[in-house]
């Protein structure tokens, strides 16, 4: 497991990985984690969408649709990625909130650009992703691994039949060579920031009972915002529509 900080690769805004150490304040993340646990425990959402989400550890909309989750961005050290990506200023609302607690919760190899394309007009044509674990450390817990290839571009994906969430995988011929795969241990406050064409997946090489809760924020550019959607503007420190 590597302890490197900051950039591992930066080929383009669509193909990069930054290990952003201390991007968020750890005290704020602990407070957020407690609030999230209370909100999850209080949620009684039982519609079909919520039931499907729970099978793979994804929080229901009743939990996700909370602007308070974005308070951590006001003190974030955004310069850790903004100095290379100044055009990405709008954090898409709401976040993805996921708890990996079993094999079904693991996300196969994919690129986030494939998910954006599958959304059609509701998908952003340009995004970067900020992955924020809410555990004190990802050691011996489920986490995310990346395939780092300098010339990585979009690749065709398979659609997993019957899957409403975690619906994409790669054909065997497109799966990365094990020699290109990198893993990093994160501590509370650290985050992965990466481009939409970087291959990545979740994994668990710890105990089968190990869990991990994370938040994933998509960030887009001012030019790529979608009318009618809400965003947290990193430059203004508040929401815009």
24 within domain boundaries: yes
Domain range for 118 is: 6-236
Question: How far does the chain reach from its first CA to its final CA, in angstroms?
Answer: 41
Q: pLDDT digit string (tens) for 147-206?
A: 988 889 999 998 877 666 777 889 998 899 998 899 999 999 999 999 999 999 999 988
- Model confidence at 104, pLDDT cuts 50, 70, 90, reads confident
With a cut of 70, say whether residue 7 has pLDDT above it. no
Are residues 75 and 32 in contact, defined by beta-carbon separation less than 8 angstroms?
no
Within-domain flag for 81: yes
Q: How many CB atoms lie within 10 A of CB 8?
A: 18
Assess if residue 109 is contained within a domain. yes
Residue 10: per-residue pLDDT: 83
Q: Please report whether residue 168 resides in a domain.
A: yes
Question: What percentage of the chain carries pLDDT values higher than 90?
Answer: 70
How many residues does the structure list for the chain?
Answer: 241
Q: Please indicate, yes or no, whether the overall pTM of this predicted structure exceeds 0.75.
A: yes
Does position 1 have pLDDT exceeding 70, yes or no? Answer: no
Confidence tier at 105 by pLDDT (50, 70, 90): confident
Residue 17, pLDDT > 60, answer yes
Task: Supply the pLDDT for residue 2.
Answer: 40
How far is 39 from 60, CA to CA, in rounded Å? 10
Q: Tens digit of pLDDT for each residue in 53-90?
A: 677 788 999 999 999 999 999 999 999 999 999 999 99
Bigger pLDDT: 240 vs 32: 32
Q: What is the pLDDT of residues 36-58, one digit of tens each?
A: 999 998 988 777 776 776 777 88
| Cα 83–Cα 12–Cα 192 angle in degrees, nearest 5 | 65
Strand partners, 181: 147
Q: Which residue bears the tokens 């992703």?
A: 129
Residue 211, both tokens:
């869990």
Question: Which of the listed ranges 4-8, 187-191, 206-210 does the model predict with the highest average pLDDT?
Answer: 187-191
Q: Are 145 and 181 in contact (CB under 8 A)?
A: yes
Q: Give the model's pLDDT for residue 163.
A: 63
**In this structure, what DSSP letter does residue 47 have?**
S
Q: Is residue 1 part of a domain?
A: no
Average pLDDT, the chain: 90
**Bigger pLDDT: 216 or 166?**
216
Number of domains present in the structure of the chain: 1
- Give the whole-angstrom CA distance, residue 128 versus residue 13: 8
Residue 3 confidence (pLDDT) above 60: no
| CATH number of the domain encompassing residue 42 | 2.60.120.620
What average pLDDT score do residues 103-107 get? 84
Band of the pLDDT at 215, cuts 50, 70, 90? very high
- The answer to whether position 101 is within a domain reads yes
In a domain, 241, yes or no: no
In a domain, 33, yes or no: yes
């Amino acid at each position: 497991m590597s302890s490197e900080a900051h950039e591992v690769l930066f080929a383009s805004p669509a193909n990069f990985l930054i290990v952003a150490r201390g991007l968020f304040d750890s005290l704020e993340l602990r407070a957020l984690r407690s609030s999230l646990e209370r909100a999850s425990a209080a949620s009684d959402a039982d519609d079909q969408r919520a039931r499907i989400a729970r099978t793979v550890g994804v929080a229901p909309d009743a939990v996700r649709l909370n602007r308070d989750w974005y308070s951590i961005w006001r003190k974030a050290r955004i310069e850790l990625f903004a100095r290379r990506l100044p055009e990405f200023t709008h954090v898409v609302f709401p976040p993805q909130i996921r708890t990996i607690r079993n094999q079904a919760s693991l996300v196969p190899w994919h690129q986030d650009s494939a998910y954006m394309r599958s959304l059609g007009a509701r998908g952003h044509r340009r995004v970067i992703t900020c992955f924020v674990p809410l555990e004190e450390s990802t050691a011996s817990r489920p986490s995310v691994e990346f395939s780092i290839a300098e010339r990585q571009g979009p690749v065709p994906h398979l659609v997993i039949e019957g899957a409403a969430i975690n619906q994409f995988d790669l054909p065997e011929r497109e799966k990365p060579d094990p020699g290109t795969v990198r893993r990093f241990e994160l501590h509370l406050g650290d985050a992965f920031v990466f481009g939409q064409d970087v291959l990545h997946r979740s994994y668990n090489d710890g105990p089968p009972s190990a869990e991990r809760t994370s938040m994933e924020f998509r960030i887009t550019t001012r030019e790529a915002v979608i009318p009618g959607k809400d965003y947290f503007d990193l430059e203004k420190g508040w929401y815009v529509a």
